A and B are shown apart, each in its own frame.
Chain A
Amino acid sequence: MSLEILAPGLLTSVQDGGRFGSRGLGVRVGGAADKYSLDIANLLVGNDRNAAALEITLVGPSLRLNRPATIAVCGATIDAHADGVALQGWRPIALPADSVLTLGTCRRGARAYLAFDGGIDVPIVLGSRSTDLRAGFGGHAGRALQAGDNLPLGGPHAATTTTIAPASWWIDCVADLDFGDSIAVRVLSGRDATTPVDALYAREFAIDSASDRQGLRLLGNALHLANDYERVSEPAIPGTVQLPSDGRPIVLLADAQTVGGYPRIGHVIDADLPRLAQRRAGQHLRFVAVSRPQAHVANMEQRARRARIALAIAARQHNAERQALR
């Protein structure tokens, strides 16, 4: 009950909904950088929304399934084939045992999520199956996948197909992800102010190629703090916009360090973290200031869309089971 990695891709790792409860030990939350796409991919294959899946960065892996599986690819638009047959994202696809699945290049977006029914059943470490790539634990051997790795799949699984069978319907993610060259992300004010006070909102930033799961590094003219002094390290969270001394903001992503000493000039709202995680080097973003009530409404709306998607998927799966019984 496993899958075998034939080629690992650029940076492929096991990620789930994140690691909570150990931040006091310095352990970051981690998990999928784009938790919206992980969530939908898991729902499509009948998993718990926080189950472990593969996070694929820019270029995907090739792998062989040793049991029939239902899969779904969400997040970035990525070339995908099973034994030469082109596969589309955002829908469940039943694959027979011994299928060779080949993920190619991300055409739009930076990170794709490949979920399998039953989830990837690596050991739970400190409450999560996620790989902490920096500290080297969790996931599979605490590292990015390599050719020859075998990953256990969880069960019980329902897929029994002997042919490649994609669903005829799919999920539309347009309300929650935006792969365009320039996007707006909503941000709450942070503890530290810039001068002028609207400096963060007054321009567009380009994404630096040195960005990673810890943070998006932004390029542009340097920003300046209203009050520049040495700060005591304080808690940081995914979404925190830090301003190091070079004046170029860093937006922390899933692998945000638990505490940091840089000034924090804003916090991107929860609903926009998936959009951030899909930014690629050379693309752009601009910040839009929102109030906490506005952020709350945006977050609630995203949760409501996810709940509707979950209901729609459950209804389709119910219908499919009834038809199979007929």
Chain B
Amino acid sequence: MTRSGRRPDRMGHSIFMDDMRIEFLGDAALLLRLGERIDAAINRRVHAYAALLRAQAPNWLIDITPAYSCLALHVDVARIDVAHVSGALASRGDPLGVAREWLADWLARSPVEVDNGAARTVEVPVAYGGDNGPDLAAVATQACICVDEVVSRHSCAEYSVAMLGFAPGFSYLLGLDASLVMPRLATPRTRVAAGSVGIGGAQTGIYPNAGPGGWRLIGRTPLRLFDAQRDPPTLLRAGDRVRFIAIDAATFDEMNAHPQ
């Protein structure tokens, strides 16, 4: 990637760098875009950039939100001293433009290395069906397979945590078996139990807290996905590999009554 690879687009809104693009997200954030689809390789690069940026963040970079194929860089524009920046941007008094220039330069000298070997594997026990997974039978019907086959296909796959978002500790997992891809519920539930494992489109994930939700619920884990008092507060981290281990309802009740 070279500086000559950058060019402002027609609208002056973004900078292209080969396969990357820097966009503005409102007036206090940049969006570094690596793609526009759910793709494990793109997602690994997103998290590699997020980790490197966290380690090297200037004081005005106050938060980073990695997502599937892009990451937001949240900027405290008041901490960017435009007076000490030379050139045309400073004269326009444009701190977010200064941040964008910094990011473009940083990207040009910061090749990321994606390390697949470092990912840890987390086993997540799940009680499938019944009250723990009220949509399991409907998912089986829609997929034209039996309930046991849904459980088998869901628990045999290896998933990776693509991002945490939407709610604290909510983990979006990649790796769902293609036969289990299901549209969301037409009418979301007003209350989903904490720990519920759901399918939403090609994604599967776990609800950390009770609340409303539109994914199809096939099971539930007794593990606590998020605890603000715990360090780290989330059970899963972006990049983790996840395996679901089928447990029966009695084991769920036992584990739920005696959380570790």
Q: How far is the CA of A235 from the CA of B65 in the complex (A)?
A: 6
Give the shortest distance, in Å, between B93 (CB) and chain A (any CB): 7
Contacts of A191 in B (CB 8 A): 23
Given A233-B68, A259-B65, A296-B93; A135-B226 close (CB under 8 Å): yes
B interface residues, how many (CB within 8 angstroms): 51
Q: Are the C-beta atoms of B70 and A235 separated by less than 8 Å? A: yes
Are B228 and A259 neighbours in the complex by a CB distance under 8 Å? no
Determine whether the beta carbon of A188 is less than 8 Å from that of B26.
yes
User: Contacts A27-B168, A235-B25, A267-B27: A138 and B68 contacting too (C-beta < 8 A)?
Assistant: no
From B25, B28, B68, B169, contact of A232 by CB (8 A): B68
How many A residues have CB within 8 A of the partner chain? Answer: 45
Q: Are A23 and B27 in contact (CB under 8 A)?
A: no
CB–CB B26/A237 < 8 A:
yes
- Nearest-CB distance from B228 to chain A (Å)? 4
Asked whether A240 lies within 8 Å of B26 as measured between CB atoms, the reply is yes
Asked whether, in the complex, the Cβ of B64 is within 8 Å of the Cβ of A25, the reply is no
B198 part of interface (Cβ distance < 8 Å): no
Q: Please report the C-alpha to C-alpha distance between residue A234 and residue B226 in the assembled complex, in whole angstroms.
A: 21
A24 lies within 8 A of B50 (CB): yes
Which residues of A have CB within 8 Å of B232?
Answer: 25
Q: Is A136 an interface residue (CB 8 A)?
A: yes
Residues of A close to B134: CB separation below 8 A? none
Once A and B bind, how many residue pairs between them come within 8 Å at the CB atom? Answer: 142
Q: Is B145 an interface residue (CB 8 A)?
A: no
B94 and A25 contacting across the interface, CB-CB below 8 Å = no
Interface pairs (20), CB distance under 8 Å: A22-B63, A24-B66, A25-B169, A26-B164, A26-B167, A125-B228, A126-B228, A137-B228, A138-B228, A232-B69, A233-B166, A233-B172, A237-B28, A259-B67, A259-B163, A268-B26, A269-B27, A270-B26, A292-B96, A296-B94
| Extra pairs beyond A22-B168, A135-B168, A267-B25 (6, CB < 8 Å) | A27-B168, A134-B211, A232-B68, A234-B68, A235-B25, A259-B165
CB-CB nearest 8 A-B residue pairs: A267-B26, A235-B72, A259-B165, A137-B228, A235-B65, A26-B164, A23-B65, A295-B27
Residues of A within 8 A of B (CB): 20-29, 125-126, 132, 134-138, 142, 188, 191, 230, 232-235, 237, 239-240, 257-260, 267-270, 292-293, 295-297, 299-300, 303
